[in-house]
Amino acid sequence: MSAEASVGSGAADSAQSTISQHVFQNSGEFRNQGLLGSKYVKLNVGGSLHYTTVQTLSKEDSLLRRMCNGITEVTTDSEGWIILDRSGRYFDLVLNFLRDGSVPLPEDRRELDEVLKEAQYYQVQGLIQHCLGAMQKQKDVLETVCRIPMITSAKEEQRMIATCRKPVVKLQNNRGNNKYSYTSNSDDNLLKNIELFDKLVLRFNGRVLFVKDVLGDEICCWSFYGEGRKIAEVCCTSIVYATEKKQTKVEFPEARIFEETLNILIYENSRGSGPGGLHLLDSRGAGSSLEPATQKRRALWRRQEGEADPRKEGT
């Protein structure tokens, strides 16, 4: 082959390479047309139409930015709408987060889960963290709510006490379960028992399970459970003969109720850790090692509540 033929062949190859490169670049520009080549973007998200800008979609390193950059291929219809096969219900929320950096989230947990799924699909990390933070706040609020179960059957009560990992305090009150008249102070004392129950619920919420029972035979009775068994009971009613007829007397032994509530805290962390709590409580009595601890807890309670010793006030 002559030198001229060689030079001509090289020029032809160079020209063909230039043409191929130009065609490739043009095809790339065509593929990005309507994204990088345009300020505005038309999105069809599950039939929901949205009109926004490339600048908005590119604010976070997300799937939407990669669509704008041409890294992720997109599907368009004959009218130039980019088709996204997702529900469009929360896409406005995604766009508003990209625009403002924050957005009000639904309070309903199910809807919040759906928003989180959309944020994860589009890989908008800021919105993902926003949703997770809102979920944690909801969880914290729910955990601080005082819940007082109401016993509906003896079988339910047994199962609840047997499976609970915390000490249990049950107040049984049923004023109507009485065939005699009440003494003059009984109604007031019954109310005081109920008020004390509410106060203890607030004070030991999260540490003790407090339950109410309005189905039993007793009119007013406190029961204290640890590790699935009854540890103590304070019955507040008795039958008296203040007149010619029998009467029901309701008492308010506040000091003893306080003491038994404090004592039951021994079982707070003992479930599943051996019988140590049982031995401590079974050894109660004068001179036992538990008595100083009980006195110390009572003193701490009084300091925290700013109250006088209830035993000095009388019952």
| Residue 300 structure tokens | 């701490």
Residue 35 has what pLDDT? 64
Q: What is residue 1's predicted lDDT score, i.e. its pLDDT?
A: 46
3-state SS of the chain is CCHHHHHHHHHHHHHHHHHHHHHHHHHHHHHHCCCCCCCEEEEEECCEEEEEEHHHHCCCCCHHHHHHHCCCCCEECCCCCEEECCCCCCHHHHHHHHHHCCCCCCCCHHHHHHHHHHHHHHCCHHHHHHHHHHHHHHHHHHHCCCCCCECCCHHHHHHHHHHCCCCEEEEEECCCCCCCEECCCHHHHHHHHHHHHHHHHHHCECCEEEEEECCCCCCEEEEEEECCEEEEEEECEEEECCCCCCEEEECCCHHHHHHHHHHHHHHCCCCCCCCHHHHHHHCCCCCCCHHHHHHHHHHHHHHHHCCCCHHHHCC
Give me the average pLDDT of each 10-residue run along the chain (315 residues). Answer: 44 43 36 60 94 92 90 90 93 95 92 95 95 88 76 90 92 87 92 95 90 89 94 94 85 96 88 41 38 52 50 42
And the tokens for 27? Answer: 């095809």
Distance CA 266, CA 96 (A): 53
pLDDT of residue 275: 38
Supply the pLDDT for residue 282: 40
* pLDDT tens-digit readout, 157-204: 999 999 988 999 999 999 887 888 899 999 999 999 999 999 999 999
Token couple for 312: 């000095």
pLDDT tens readout for residues 25-65: 333 333 444 465 668 899 999 999 999 999 999 999 999 99
pLDDT of residue 139: 80
Residue 263: name the closest of 246, 285, 244, 248 by CA: 285
As a CATH number, domain 40-143 is 3.30.710.10
Residue in this structure with the two tokens 């997770």, named with its chain if needed: 132
**Cα 36 from Cα 29, distance rounded (Å):** 9
Global pTM value: 0.48
CA-CA distance, 309 to 306, in Å (whole number)?
10
- Where are the CATH 3.40.30.10 domain residues in the chain? 150-269
Provide the pLDDT for residue 298: 53
Given this model, what pLDDT does residue 87 score? 92
Nearest residue to 59 (alpha-carbon basis) of 33, 34, 94: 94
CB-facing half-sphere around the CA of 37: CA atoms within 13 A:
10
Measured CA to CA, the distance from residue 36 to residue 53 in angstroms comes to 10
Position 167 scores a pLDDT of 95
Query: What was the pLDDT predicted at 84?
Result: 94
List, by residue range, all CATH 3.30.710.10 domains of the chain. 40-143
Query: Which amino acid makes up residue 278?
Result: L
Strand-strand pairing, 168-173 and 209-213? parallel
* Superfamily holding 150-269: Glutaredoxin (3.40.30.10)
Q: Are 90 and 118 in contact (CB under 8 A)?
A: yes
Percent of the chain with pLDDT over 90: 52
